[in-house]
A and B are shown apart, each in its own frame.
Chain A
Amino acid sequence: MQRSGHDAVRYEWKAGTYVPENIIFCVDVDREADVEMKSGGGKLQGAALHRMDAVKQALLLFVHSKLTMNPHHQFAFMTLDRGASWYQREYTNNLDIINATIRNFSSQGSYPQFDLSSLLQVGVSEARVAQTQGRSLRVVLVYCRSSVVPEFQEQLMEQQNFTLDALYMHDKPGPNNCPQKVYDALVDVLEHVSHHEGYIFESSSGSARTLFRHICLLLAHPQQRVGQDDFANAVKDFALLKPPTEPRPQEETSNSGDLPYSVSLDLVLTKRSLSWTKFTKADNWSSTLDEAVLCACSGFFHTGSVESMNICCLPVSILYVSTGIELGIKLRNLQHSGDSS
């Protein structure tokens, strides 16, 4: 790792090691998936949100995000009742099929037992097939039962050739349930079985926002993961960063000893709002990449409440500066382009 002038970590990556994923979502269809969630921030209109509804939204968010990262990732689906059963057996990246599959999930009954062994066995065989195709396999468990501790055969508790993640939504601990035991069992399985670092997130708060945050963290490619706590702590919070108020003098922005490279990024927002004054000065040409993009991001999200942020933040591609001002960016350690216009 190299230390940059920001005194932050610069990550270096080994070329040629990246493979697309086959991801199997295993969704709990026990009645506890019908428990109502909290409404979250802002006003929630319409019917109450149940765990299964939130899980569906989380899965859709995951799939859409993952396919934006790489359209060659593929997905299959299983349900969890007494064991694991195939729901959508063929891996696909077809959004129509995936949307229809996810929409059709629903709770099926109460299951006082859950045997994880069948799921682990499926993972082992599917991982072998994935490897022959130059892909990696990941199994994501979505579990909702607060009193049913997963069972598994001891002989399966050794490191396998796939990555296992888990999302656990449960009730608050009480005399009639044992979510801590369930959580401990899931952690135990992950630690023993998962090939790469497996992530597990639990929530008793019933907050959909928390679930969506957790599902975003699960987007992390297993081959490139670090420890779960390290990764979660590495997520930057732009609210804590101050955008520059004045442009730096030219000589201060030059990277002494480095070869600057000029790349211009046009950043435009498709919607209203924002105070653009901080972006209009031509001197911003000398801003570094981090400042320029942080300017855009912080201005973007300083418009006010969550509601207006949601409206502004559209999942569409390409954002351009609405004022048409180019932001010149200097990056370190790249060859000079010779063109700063």
Chain B
Amino acid sequence: MGSTSKGVPIMPALVPQLEYLRTYSPVPIRIEGRQLKVGRGVSSGILEVLKTILRVSSVEISLDFATQIEHIRRGHHNAPYADRFTACIPCCLDHIKWDVVYNYQTPDLPPDVVFGADDQDFQPLLFVGDDNAAAQAAALGAWTILRDWTAKDYSRLLRFLLELRSLYLRHQRKRVEFVEDPRVRFEIGTISAMEGLEMRIFTGADRSEEVQFAIPLDIDLTQISRRLGTSSAKLWSGISLQVAFSLQRGQTFTGEKAPQLRLHAPPAMRDVFDVEDVKLPTWADRIYCDKKTTIAPYIGYPRMESIDLLLVGFMHVIGLGLCTDKKPVKMLRCLMEYVPNVQDILKAQVREAITSVGMRRSFLEALGPVFGRPLELETNLFRRVSIMVTSGLFCFLIHFSLPTQFPKQQPTLTFQSSQVKVIDESISYLWS
């Protein structure tokens, strides 16, 4: 790094701050832009260091980390240096974009940060007076960083963005807490203390609004990390459940409508366990009580869990018809009892995925006596092996590919001839 993709030199004081951010950020902050191009005057030494840190390549670009450098730009076409960029900050399993603007004429001063158009009311430094201790600390932290700013401390940019992110999450939580929808308020009331929980109000392109929750699930990924041969940093976010309640205009109650549910996991996990293959339990209403119960006995009903008591109370408040004439009643689902259900399912499937690695290994090792020594066997996750065999003068390859859900899903065999002419992926035959 030293220049942008168009060969414009980057403000010198900014370069080490960006390098520090990309190397040490505990959350995946991405600098938006295209792939690095070498500009004039960029030393090969700097380039190699950056490539080493960021693993820039045409293939191994991870979406988890800011491995794409660029779109660092200048304020106007006559400016000698590029001194501003767009930072993509993770929030609620998505990214929000902030413009970070330095001034090349005063490189020792801290940057301005421009928030998105939908965040006009986000005033981070006013959280100094917030009643939440963590928010207060973050606001004070941000103030202090700005007050004591020095370009020689390369860590300040990263710390500043992390404090702002913390304040932004607090800001979004307060917005969600002010939503009048009783269903949303009930859910917040039951899960707000969950560690790592993030929430926000998201406005779609069609101006529709929804309340989104990002719930980190308690799944131990140590075994998967070990199989991937990677540090836990690559799986930093673990598996999360994203829940979205749409807020209809003119209506203040999402009521019985099921939320949208989706699992998120680091892409690095896919070779071992893909959350896209997980079937989430349906958000279906439960039939709970029998004919003989009425409202009053619910309170002292011996088999009723505390969460169901809350649900009963909630349903009573919103008038969703509790049993008054000895008929069974439908109980609403809620996150507090749905999330543990999802966790149990995922834990079992993660265990199966780990077991599958061993079974795949046994299967591939068993091929040796039949097909001979393989050309290449992937020994990290035992997903693939390729073998060369002949039939008289004819020589061909067999590629075995095992899915992550082996042995529930069967292997795939690909036969490849050595005599087939390949040009531009179209096939023709040398001797046909």
Name A residues whose Cβ lies closer than 8 Å to a Cβ of B: 4, 6, 8-18, 40-44, 57, 60-61, 64-65, 68-72, 74, 90-96, 99, 103, 129, 132-133, 208-209, 212-213, 215-217, 219-221, 224, 226, 231, 234-239, 261, 263-267, 289-290, 293-294, 297-298, 300-301, 306-307, 309-311, 313-319, 331-335, 337
What's the Cα separation between A2 and B379 when bound, in Å?
A: 18
Instruction: List B residues 381-432 near A (Cβ within 8 Å).
Output: 382, 384, 386, 388-397, 399, 401, 407, 410-425, 427, 429-432
User: Given A68-B414, A239-B392, A297-B391: A93 and B422 within 8 A (CB)?
Assistant: no
B363 interface residue (CB < 8 Å to A): yes
B97 interface residue (CB < 8 Å to A): no
Pick from A61, A95, A231: contact of B425, CB under 8 Å: A95
Pick from A9, A41, A92: contact of B58, CB under 8 Å: A92
Chain B contacts for A236, CB-based, 8 A: 370-372, 389-390
Contact A318 B414 (CB under 8 A): yes
B223 interface residue (CB < 8 Å to A): no
Chain B contacts for A208, CB-based, 8 A: 430
What's the Cα separation between A26 and B413 when bound, in Å?
A: 32
What's the Cα separation between A331 and B363 when bound, in Å?
A: 7
Q: List 22 A-B contacts (CB under 8 A).
A: A9-B369, A10-B368, A11-B368, A14-B379, A18-B377, A44-B431, A60-B421, A65-B416, A93-B59, A129-B48, A133-B55, A133-B57, A219-B397, A221-B377, A224-B379, A237-B389, A238-B391, A265-B410, A306-B419, A317-B414, A318-B412, A318-B414
User: Given A13-B379, A212-B395, A332-B366: A42 and B431 within 8 A (CB)?
Assistant: yes
| Shortest distance between the CB of A39 and any CB in chain B (Å) | 9
Contact B391 A265 (CB under 8 A): no
Contact B397 A216 (CB under 8 A): yes
Contact B391 A212 (CB under 8 A): no
A-B contact sample (11 more), CB < 8 A, given A8-B369, A212-B419, A219-B397:
A8-B368, A11-B373, A60-B423, A64-B416, A213-B390, A213-B418, A219-B388, A235-B372, A236-B370, A237-B389, A310-B419
Name B residues whose Cβ lies closer than 8 Å to a Cβ of A: 48, 52, 55, 57-60, 229, 359, 361-363, 365-380, 382, 384, 386, 388-397, 399, 401, 407, 410-425, 427, 429-432
Chain A contacts for B379, CB-based, 8 A: 13-18, 224
Contact A224 B377 (CB under 8 A): yes
Contact A70 B362 (CB under 8 A): no
Contact A310 B384 (CB under 8 A): no
Contact B362 A221 (CB under 8 A): no
Contact B422 A265 (CB under 8 A): no
| Shortest distance between the CB of B56 and any CB in chain A (Å) | 10
Q: Which 5 A-B pairs have the closest CB atoms?
A: A42-B431, A290-B370, A8-B369, A313-B417, A221-B376
User: Given A93-B58, A309-B394: A315 and B52 within 8 A (CB)?
Assistant: no
User: Given A42-B431, A307-B432: A10 and B389 within 8 A (CB)?
Assistant: no
Pick from B366, B375, B399: contact of A333, CB under 8 Å: B366
Contact B376 A224 (CB under 8 A): yes
Pick from A65, A91, A301: contact of B391, CB under 8 Å: A301
Chain A contacts for B52, CB-based, 8 A: 132-133
Pick from B367, B389, B411: contact of A238, CB under 8 Å: B389
What's the Cα separation between A310 and B421 when bound, in Å?
A: 10
Chain B contacts for A74, CB-based, 8 A: 57, 59
Chain A contacts for B429, CB-based, 8 A: 310-311
User: Given A10-B365, A16-B379, A319-B415: A68 and B386 within 8 A (CB)?
Assistant: yes
Pick from A69, A306, A319: contact of B375, CB under 8 Å: A69
User: Given A72-B59, A221-B376, A331-B366: A313 and B412 within 8 A (CB)?
Assistant: no
Contact A316 B414 (CB under 8 A): yes
Contact A219 B386 (CB under 8 A): yes
Contact B362 A331 (CB under 8 A): yes
Chain A contacts for B397, CB-based, 8 A: 65, 216, 219
Name A226's closest neighbour in chain B (CB-CB): B373
Chain B contacts for A69, CB-based, 8 A: 375-376, 378, 384, 386, 399
Contact B375 A220 (CB under 8 A): yes
Contact B366 A306 (CB under 8 A): no
Contact B427 A315 (CB under 8 A): yes
Chain B contacts for A290, CB-based, 8 A: 369-370
What's the Cα separation between A99 and B57 when bound, in Å?
A: 19
What's the Cα separation between A313 and B430 when bound, in Å?
A: 13
| Shortest distance between the CB of B363 and any CB in chain A (Å) | 6
Chain A contacts for B374, CB-based, 8 A: 11, 224
Contact A319 B58 (CB under 8 A): no
| Shortest distance between the CB of B359 and any CB in chain A (Å) | 6
Chain B contacts for A16, CB-based, 8 A: 229, 379-380
What's the Cα separation between A233 and B416 when bound, in Å?
A: 20
Contact A11 B58 (CB under 8 A): no
Name A16's closest neighbour in chain B (CB-CB): B229
Name B368's closest neighbour in chain A (CB-CB): A11
Chain B contacts for A17, CB-based, 8 A: 379
Name A128's closest neighbour in chain B (CB-CB): B48
| Shortest distance between the CB of A121 and any CB in chain B (Å) | 16
Residue of A264, A294, A313 with most partner-chain B CB within 10 A: A313
What's the Cα separation between A226 and B386 when bound, in Å?
A: 16
Name A298's closest neighbour in chain B (CB-CB): B391
| Shortest distance between the CB of A53 and any CB in chain B (Å) | 10
Name A335's closest neighbour in chain B (CB-CB): B359
Contact B410 A264 (CB under 8 A): yes
Chain A contacts for B395, CB-based, 8 A: 209, 212-213, 216
Name B424's closest neighbour in chain A (CB-CB): A99
Contact B375 A219 (CB under 8 A): yes
Contact B229 A40 (CB under 8 A): no
Contact B390 A61 (CB under 8 A): no
Name A217's closest neighbour in chain B (CB-CB): B388
What's the Cα separation between A52 and B430 when bound, in Å?
A: 16
Chain B contacts for A216, CB-based, 8 A: 375, 388, 395, 397, 418
